[in-house]
Amino acid sequence: MNKTVGVIRFLGTNCDQDVFSAIKQAGLSPEWVCHQDQFDKSQYMALFLPGGFSHGDYLRCGALAARAPVMKSVVEASRHGTPILGICNGFQILCEANLLPGVLVRNNSLRFRDGWVGLQRVQQSPQFGSDKLIYAKLPIAHGEGRYYIEDDQVKKLFDDEQVWCVYERNPNGSVENIAGVMNENKNVAGLMPHPERAVADFMGGSDGLSFFTSLL
């Protein structure tokens, strides 16, 4: 079994080390992929786009990173069916790259928000998170985490089983409390909270670990 997992680093990505360690802790083999790199669509068993402030969030968060050379390979891998998870800024990048529906805009408080949230699973992702994990406690840390999609598309998103998880209590004004979504094929997923920051008791919880171990 190919256990190599690509971790994509853009200029300004800052959760890269944390995601890298969590993948290793899960028994997989993480490998760095640089924003300028290209790779073969079947090279990695899975891809992660960690959080951070790619390109300083200038222009719009994720907008510049979505146009980095590496994204061409990411798009090809997504068509090939490779599981891809974007966390926080990674989620924003996948939306900007049109690999996921909707967009993430400024929190309704207009402030950055750090803290722990409760997450409820709406649909199981075939790759990320064990089937037993229907509720998880995970940290958030974002200024632009309010999930938005036009009214007429919200229902479709639920009907097509693309809504992955919702917040127990809405921290940012997201439409229908949405915290994570999937593409139509369910191999690409985006999540605003940080599972890599909840993989050991000392961190305050370990619900995040199964988002990595479930790939095995």
CB of 107 to other proteins, least distance (A): 10
The reply to whether 32 sits near other proteins by the rule CB under 8 A is no
Sign, Cα dihedral of 29, 115, 174, 148:
negative
Contacting other proteins within 188-207 (CB under 8 A): 194, 196-197, 199, 201-203
Active site residues: 88, 194, 196
CB of 155 to other proteins, least distance (A): 33
The reply to whether 112 sits near other proteins by the rule CB under 8 A is yes
Q: Which of 34, 33, 36 is nearest to 69 (CA)?
A: 36
- Which residue from 17, 29, 42, 130 is in contact with other proteins, where contact means CB under 8 A? 17
Report H helices in 41-144: 70-80, 89-96
Cα–Cα distance measured from residue 119 to residue 63, given in angstroms and rounded to the nearest whole number: 27
| CB-based burial label for 169 (10 Å; 0-12, 13-18, 19+) | exposed
Q: Nearest 5°: phi and psi at 134?
A: -100, -15
Look at the chain and count its residues. Answer: 216
Map tokens 């990505």 to a residue: 13
Residue 163 or 192 with smaller CB distance to other proteins = 192
- Which residue from 62, 129, 139, 145 is in contact with other proteins, where contact means CB under 8 A? 139
Residue 116 or 158 with smaller CB distance to other proteins = 116
Residue 5 or 163 with smaller CB distance to other proteins = 5
Tokens found for residue 130: 């064990």
Residue 41 or 113 with smaller CB distance to other proteins = 113
CB of 148 to other proteins, least distance (A): 21
Are 129 and 46 within 8 A, CB to CB? no
The reply to whether 146 sits near other proteins by the rule CB under 8 A is no
What are the residues binding other proteins (CB under 8 A)? Answer: 11-12, 14-15, 17-18, 21-22, 51-53, 55-58, 109, 111-115, 139, 141, 143, 194, 196-197, 199, 201-203
